[in-house]
Amino acid sequence: MVGNNDYDVTKWPVGNPYEDIGEVINSILADIKNKQRDKDRNEGGKPGAVIYIPSGDYHLVTQVVIDISYLKIMGSGHGFTSSSIRFNAPESEWADWHEVWPGGSRILVDIPVEHDAEEGMGAAFYINRDGNPRISSVEFEGFCIDGLHFVDDGTGEENPENTYVNGKTGIYAASANDSFRITGMGMIYLEHGITMYHADALSIHDNFIAECGNCIELRGWGQASKITNNLIGAGYKGYSIYAQKFAGLLVTANNVFPRGASSVYFDHVARSSITGNRLHSFYPGMIIFEGNCSENLIASNHLLRDHEPWPPMQMHDNGLDDLYGLVHINGSHNSVMANHISEVIERQYIRPEGTKPVMIHVVSGKGNYISNNHIVASAGEADQPDAETDSCFARQVDALLTVRELEELAVITVLVEKEAVQNTVLDTGREEQVILDKASNAFRPAPSIEGN
């Protein structure tokens, strides 16, 4: 123990952190609670503690259960490196690699998880406390949580490491919580990266959460939180960012990688913002509003949809066709303004075949405001990467940098269904690119240039 309320897992006398860091941290938590019994002593009493994880590999067999406030668990580096690339490269090549596994302050989640286990049982860190006040100010900073492997899920995937299924979660909060902070973390090969129920004033900032089945899930209900400046990428079955019954959520300045089933999924979310993000997807349904999502703002984002360039993943998609929309809205009084939307895809990949892909699809609700979105849609044969390399990195960068003039792809920029009324669509597509009932909605087309 370094100080009265400072702990180092490598210096704690109970357990071996390299064999089971869960046992060690739980022992430290018991010591904190034993020393901090007074609720009020000189207008203080339970200051919490800091638990430090030095750089190294630490197996976690025993779930860490957190039920105290003012706790910070911190490491010396998020240690992220791609496991998906490694698992899809021949093992014969690994001997020549500089490193093979993630590093930094790395927790290896070895919790045995049954196939039908209750949600949260496979979480490395499980947070739960009943009563008042809500558990508050728990912080995670600067270490890696690695789920190690995905498993065969019975779908016929040739490589089980590509299923995104293993029942493991990085951080799971089961009870109402206030002012939690998750910063500078690395999370990889977990079926669920972060799952938070009933969060208030939550900050998820500057993390690297990728190659997880689902990255960030805010469930139950919550308010006044932010997901900012993260690098995020879920698998084809899951959510990169998901929020349920939330109000006052700020989703800003995130770079969302393309393989997730959706980049941002809101379910009954109100008065929240999706602004200034770079969102990339291989499938329709990049931003989805389900339930009665109301008074939300989608503004100044860059959305790119293209086709999966990496052969090991080309067999997968999220099950949605191109009529679903890149932005799919159920709800009222939402604003979709000043976004740049790019779709660059060969016609052979459009489903149903021969249809015009939909960019913004208003399915239900009223009073939605769609204005001044710039939509660029292109079709044609993309430049092929160097035949001598099958590098995921090289192929994706090559695809992103292909900006030569391509044939314009005919699309529907805005589709407003008959069930949606009193909406306003301004300067987001030419007359022939927008489909809506002009008797029930306001419409001003973008001006056409002669010859187009």
Q: What is the pLDDT along the chain (452 residues), one digit of tens a residue?
A: 455 999 999 999 999 999 999 999 999 999 999 999 999 988 988 999 999 999 999 999 999 999 999 999 999 999 999 999 999 999 999 999 999 999 999 999 999 998 788 899 999 999 999 999 999 999 999 999 999 999 999 988 999 999 999 999 999 999 999 999 999 999 999 999 999 999 999 999 999 999 999 999 999 999 999 999 999 999 999 999 999 999 999 999 999 999 999 999 999 999 999 999 999 999 999 999 999 999 999 999 999 999 998 888 888 899 999 999 999 999 999 999 999 999 999 999 999 999 999 999 999 999 999 999 999 999 955 545 454 445 666 666 666 666 566 899 999 999 999 999 999 999 999 999 999 999 999 999 999 887 55
pLDDT of residue 387: 43
CA torsion sign for 400, 405, 410, 412 is: positive
Q: Point out the domain boundary residue: 228, 257, 286.
A: 257
In a domain? residue 41: no
Q: Point out the domain boundary residue: 257, 285, 320.
A: 257
Residues 290 and 431 in one domain: yes
Q: Are 262 and 240 in contact (CB under 8 A)?
A: yes
What are 261's two structure tokens? Answer: 């089933």
Residues 328 and 196 in one domain: no
Residues 319 and 206 in one domain: no
Q: What is the DSSP letter of 318?
A: -
- Domains held by the chain: number: 2
Q: Are 300 and 277 in contact (CB under 8 A)?
A: no
Residues 347 and 417 in one domain: yes
In a domain? residue 341: yes
In a domain? residue 95: no
Distance CA 178, CA 181 (A): 9
In a domain? residue 267: no
In a domain? residue 90: no
Per-residue buried b or exposed e for 318-340, using 16+ beta carbons within 10 Å of the residue's own CB:
bebbbbbbbbbbbbbbbbbbebe
Q: What is the CATH number of the domain that holds 336?
A: 2.160.20.10
Residues 342 and 373 in one domain: yes
pLDDT of residue 121: 96
Q: Point out the domain boundary residue: 229, 257, 285.
A: 257
- Strand blocks (E) in 255-357: 255-256, 262-267, 273-275, 278-281, 287-294, 297-299, 302-306, 327-332, 335-337, 340-344
Residues 229 and 308 in one domain: no
Residues 188 and 139 in one domain: yes
Residues 242 and 298 in one domain: no
Q: Please state whether beta strands 407-408 and 374-379 pair in parallel, antiparallel, or not at all (unpaired).
A: antiparallel
pLDDT of residue 169: 98
Residue 77 dihedral angles phi and psi, to the nearest 5°: 155, 140
pLDDT of residue 329: 98
Q: Please state whether beta strands 335-337 and 262-267 pair in parallel, antiparallel, or not at all (unpaired).
A: unpaired
In a domain? residue 268: no
Distance CA 36, CA 166 (A): 37
Per the structure, the complete domain to which residue 315 belongs is given by 277-452
Q: Are 356 and 379 in contact (CB under 8 A)?
A: no
In a domain? residue 419: yes
